[in-house]
Structure 1
Amino acid sequence: MATVILVRHGRTTANASGLLAGRTAGVSLDQVGRDQAALTGERLAVVPVVAVVSSPLERCQQTAEFILARQSGSPATPTAVDLTECDYGQWQGRTLSELAAEQLWSVVQSQPSAATFPGGESMAAMQARAVAAIRRLDAAFEAEHGPNAIWVAVSHGDIIKSILADALGVHLDLFQRINVNPASVSIVRYGESRPSVIATNTDGGDLSWLSSSPPAVDAPLGGGAGHQAPTAPIA
């Protein structure tokens, strides 16, 4: 199957102030977030992607623009509603410090599969629609561009964590063990028999190997030789 690069949006004004933004309109990247997104765009400039798919929320659209600005080709730019942020319902717009005092907070931390946000969606439903969207889009891009196609999905922290948990084959109750920082890059390749998680939560490093030596379909016994390290410039 194709390879998907999962990118979380850069830091926002809400992130910086400890607010749970959720699906609130008008939440934008702050200067740190813009710098983070620009760096991610620079990292991905060496990878010719066939599409940059984004959540409809502003912070993801802004992050996607930084990635598209560094692409030499003309990737498709669809918006995917199913990659939007979790519907936190009545928790939306409240501070994390305030929410930590709620009884539901401990459920979110230790058994997220049982958590349903008041007036919102359950974390299990969030994972189901996000994973279905990623797998559907991945299959479509492979059908159109071939098995070596690489595409980008720009989304949100809990969304990406839930996708990675599914790809790793771990229960949603373990997804809080996964970290996904602002503007970080994670990479998954969906094979015929199972997904392969190539990288998680990276915020630096060369990615040019993705286009020159795409991830293998089968897992190499013994770990394999890996990808070729970038050549250091001659002083």
Structure 2
Amino acid sequence: MTSTIYLLRHAAHDQVANYLAGRAPGVQLGPDGLAQAERLGTRLAREPFDALFASPRERAQQTAAAVAAARGNLPIETVEALDEVNFGSWSGCTFTELGKREDWRRWNALRSMAETPAGETMLDVQRRAIGFIRHITTRPGDARLALVSHADVIRAIVGHVLGLPIDAWQRFDIAPASITTLAIGEWGAKLLTLNEITP
């Protein structure tokens, strides 16, 4: 039994480089992001995955909808375990504002020992995401599954598979609308592709 997992980062919202969206409500894809999500859907249309799961954030749901449409309106299952890191009061702040905060600088320097204002740690994020993957890969038979989530969540999953510490999160990128692929079986788990960027 082998499961293939496509980890998809949501497409870029209009201010992705300027502020931390986090779990702030109403952060949706603009025209460029919607086009990017459509290209991701077109790319994935040739992959025979069986199920599609997505974070509850609007930008993830919109990305998943584009992927689902390219596969004949495949159902989308919303999964809390794939949600963005709970950044609490940091959500909605610009990166310039955050850069002046000691707690934000600590978070980025030592994530293994830091937590967000909401009390979530990256180990918490990794635990919930890996727990969900463990759950969906214990079903009998081979499976090909697509998960739409967020950069830090995907980094936490990949880091776990590679045996990297939480603080290694800056060693690789997870770009908007990118595809990272895992294979998981009784023999273990391995990384097949990392951060494939949709043209």
TM-score bracket for this pair, using the shorter chain length: over 0.9
Partner Cα distance (2:192, 2:118) in 1: 36
CA drift of 1:204 comes to 3.8
**RMSD, aligned α-carbons:** 1.6
User: Are the counterparts in 2 of residues 127 and 162 from structure 1 also a CA contact under 8 Å?
Assistant: yes
Q: Deviations over 1:20-79 (max 9, x none)?
A: 11111111012221121111101110112111100111111100011011114x644211
**Identical pairs, percent:** 35
2:181 matched to which residue of 1? 187
**Matched pairs, number:** 198
Letter paired with 2:114: A
CA drift of 1:100 comes to 1.4
- Give runs of ≥4 in structure 1 deviating > 4 Å: none
1:197 matched to which residue of 2? 191
CA drift of 1:181 comes to 0.5
Aligned: 1:137 with 2:131: no
Indicate the SS of the match to 2:186. Answer: coil
Partner Cα distance (1:185, 1:39) in 2: 12
Indicate the SS of the match to 1:5. Answer: strand
1:221 matched to which residue of 2? none
Indicate the SS of the match to 1:3. Answer: strand
Give the alignment's TM-score, normalised by structure 1: 0.79
Partner Cα distance (2:163, 2:89) in 1: 31
Partner Cα distance (1:21, 1:90) in 2: 11
2:3 matched to which residue of 1? 2
Indicate the SS of the match to 2:118. Answer: coil
Q: Choose between structure 1 and 2: higher strand proportion.
A: 2
2:20 matched to which residue of 1? 20
Bigger Cα Rg: 1
Q: Deviations over 1:79-110 (max 9, x none)?
A: 11111011001211111111112222333233
Residue among 149, 152, 156 paired with 1:158:
152
Structural mapping, 1:76-225, within 5 Å: 76-140=75-139, 143=140, 146-147=141-142, 149-204=143-198
User: Are the counterparts in 1 of residues 183 and 189 from structure 2 also a CA contact under 8 Å?
Assistant: yes
User: Are the counterparts in 2 of residues 6 and 187 from structure 1 also a CA contact under 8 Å?
Assistant: yes
1:231 matched to which residue of 2? none
Partner Cα distance (2:90, 2:9) in 1: 21
Q: Which sections of structure 2, spanning at least 5 residues, go unmatched?
A: none
Give the alignment's TM-score, normalised by structure 2: 0.93
Q: Which sections of structure 1, spanning at least 5 residues, go unmatched?
A: 206-235
Higher relative contact order (CA 8 A, sep 6+): 2
Partner Cα distance (2:26, 2:167) in 1: 31
Letter paired with 2:159: A
